[in-house]
Amino acid sequence: MNKVKIITDSCCSLSPQRLQELDVDYIAMDITVDGVTFNSFECPITNPDEFYYNLEHSESCSTSCINNFTFNEKFEKYVKEGFDVFYIGLSGGMSCTCNNAKAVARELNAKYGNHVYVADSLTGSYSIAFDVERAKQMADDGMSAQEIYHALDQNAFKTFAVFAPGDLKFLKKSGRINKFVASIGSVLKIVPIITSNDRGELKLLNKAIGRRKAIKLLEEFVLKNADLTTPGKMYVGHTGQKEEAEQFAIFLKEHTQNKEIIVDYIDYTMGCNCGPKTISVFGFLK
């Protein structure tokens, strides 16, 4: 059996340093803010608070999916070195990146035999991190890339991601919600509670008038749906809302058993889509 190489993308919210510790390779997406394009892992602004402050006051921002050429270059390199490849990244319901990876996998498997496996996470950010860390453990335990694929594809471990954005205009810019809904939300100070459906697309779960009520809805979602007893991790992600995120972590610690609660920034790629002042929670469903 070939060695297995785990590959992900920058939407997993894990830092390059953490991915290197795991011996997981990655492809970073490009982001464009006010006409300036840069690799999301090589952004000249290394302070996340500064980045999200600038993003909040930007005129425009966008993200780019990973193209077929980049995937081919990365996947083929490892296949030629004798690896089987397992890739998992941003949901196919949120980006064409996953479909591009699958197209390249089909081409390489036709050329070299079945050595490349692409799973659809159906999610984003730290929910992908769960899959990446689990995939690495499976590989270390001797599982094949094909076995890892069957274990993790289509969110098989039932992770969840739920978040409250700070401003609907960024979801509008990224095409996640329409202009009319965004304008009403901004005027009425409506804070949507957003998760993903079974196709990995964003869906409106609930809505609140005001930030306090939005946080209360996040708490209610977690208490009703999350597995709070099985040992493991939960993430509280944010885009410049550190104090709010730390307060939510205190709430989680009061209601969980055997859980490591990690508070950290959402990566710049996902942050450009959900926008500054977002708070999000990631864990496993009951």
- Domain definitions of the chain by residue range: 3-29+65-152, 159-284
- Burial class from Cβ neighbours inside 10 Å (0-12, 13-18, 19+) for residue 226 reads buried
- Mean pLDDT for 53-74 is 94
Q: Domain 159-284, what fold?
A: Hypothetical Protein Tm841; Chain: A;domain 3 (3.30.1180)
pLDDT digit string, tens, across residues 215-264: 999 999 999 999 999 999 999 999 999 999 999 999 999 999 889 999 99
- Mean pLDDT for 29-56 is 94
Cα 96 → chain centroid: 14
Q: Among candidates 161, 147, 138, which has minimal Cα distance to 119?
A: 147
30 vs 180, which has greater pLDDT?
A: 30
- Mean pLDDT for 16-22 is 96
pLDDT digit string, tens, across residues 174-210: 555 555 455 555 555 788 899 999 999 888 888 888 8
Same fold, 3-29+65-152 and 159-284: no
How high is the pLDDT of residue 204? 83
φ and ψ of 280, to 5 deg: -145, 155
Per-residue pLDDT at 11 exceeds 70: yes
How high is the pLDDT of residue 180? 44
How high is the pLDDT of residue 164? 94
pLDDT digit string, tens, across residues 106-135: 999 999 999 999 999 999 999 999 999 999
Is-contact 1 143, C-beta < 8 A?
no
φ and ψ of 137, to 5 deg: -65, -40
40 vs 178, which has greater pLDDT?
A: 40
CATH for 3-29+65-152 is 3.40.50.10440
**Band of the pLDDT at 159, cuts 50, 70, 90?**
very high
